[in-house]
Amino acid sequence: MKQPIKRRSRKAGLPPGTPVHIGERRSEISHVSVIHFDATQFREHTFERVDAVTPLRAPQGVSWVHVTGVHDSALLERLGKAFDLHPLVIEDIQNTDQRAKLEDYGSYVYVVVKLWQNSRAANGTRVEQLSLVLGRDFVLTFEEAEPCVFDSVRQRLRDDRGRLRAEGADYLAYSLLDAVVDSYFGVLEQLGEQIEMLEGQLVTRPSRAALQSLHGLKREMIGLRRSVWPLRDVIGGLERGTSGLVRSEMWIYLRDVYDHAAHVIDTIETYRDMLSAMLDVYISSVSNRLNEVMKVLTIIATIFMPLTFIAGVYGMNFKYMPELEWRLGYPLVLGIMIGLGLAMLWYFRKKKWL
């Protein structure tokens, strides 16, 4: 989650609908995976390039075309032609710097969402954009890079587990969105553990590194929040039954995903509140600590400055200083010094500084 806004300047001045890839290129080659299925059959193919004779749409049943890597404009345009997509859709798929949104084009619905995943490679979280086109008998999905969050759905299709094969394209789309929202829970779990750990640390010793981590977590939260708020609206829009593409039986399922998204938002807001509260604790701890340091300094100075002054007085070289001649002068002054020191200590104890 480094740069919240990507270089769009390449696109300035081009007519709308021109497909230009915006964002970092994450995979070198695009893969196209095509699955045709209905209640009784299942076929799966993988292509690296698409031409006019590539069997993208099944004559019957549902077709799920999944594209990994969105920088190949030619491929996308060919797909667009095959499924009759609006040029703006093709443009939006390539622009990986977008807000989650839902657009209803009548015969199909175009959905963009952000996907957050724990990534060992990136040593933290990885964000990518996911486009989904839902038609009456097809679902197209476009992802920036492997590994795919949809592997489990694909596996369920292959094994014919659950109702995936029996249901239509809308149920498939729901399952995919469910997988997307579930990915957020994984990220939140990890962040939750980091927050938990950091909180203990802040309490025991508020270091500069802890502040750094706190700030990092805050930034992650800002980014997550920015992704999830519109995601919830997208699912809500889908639920409110657009275009008759989503059967009313699906609403209860979409309601469920919607609730999950709401839960994610709730959790993010809670984490934000907790991080704010932790910063307050941190700042208070730091000034508490400053107070303690200053007390030590003040105690030392208050005890030794008067004593040093007394020693200085009897270090003066005046000719006529009667005390210097006294036999008991030295022990007397020493005694006074010790008494003064003890009096100071008693005073600080009384003032609860010690």
Residues 237-266 that bind a second copy (CB under 8 A): 252-253, 255-256, 259, 262-263, 266
Q: Are 154 and 93 in contact (CB under 8 A)?
A: no
Q: Binders of a second copy: how many residues, by CB under 8 A?
A: 122
Residue bearing tokens 């003040």: 298
Q: 278-337: which residues touch a second copy (CB under 8 A)? A: 278-291, 293-298, 300-302, 304-309, 311-321, 323-330, 333-334, 337
Minimum distance from CB of 26 to a second copy (Å)? 20
- Contact set for a second copy, span 71-90 (CB under 8 A): 86, 88
Torsion sign, CA atoms 170, 136, 86, 29? positive
Binding mask 15-34 for a second copy (x = CB under 8 A): xxxx----------------
The residue behind tokens 């209803």 is 104
| Among 39, 196, 338, 346, interactor with a second copy by CB under 8 A | 196
Binding of a second copy by 156 (CB under 8 A) = yes
| Interface with a second copy in residues 100-139 (CB under 8 A) | 101, 103, 105
Q: Alpha carbon of 275 to those of 188, 213, 282: distances in Å?
A: 14, 11, 10
SS3 233: helix
Minimum CB separation of residue 2 from a second copy in Å reads 8
| Alpha-carbon distances, residue 130 vs 69, 137, 159, 351 (angstroms) | 10, 20, 25, 64
Q: Which is nearer to a second copy, 14 or 342 (CB)?
A: 14
Question: Nearest approach, Cβ of 49 to a second copy (angstroms)?
Answer: 28
Provide the b/e sequence for 323-350 (b: ≥16 CB within 10 Å): eeeeeeeeeebeeeeeeeeeebeeebee
Among 119, 137, 185, 194, binds a second copy (CB under 8 A): 185
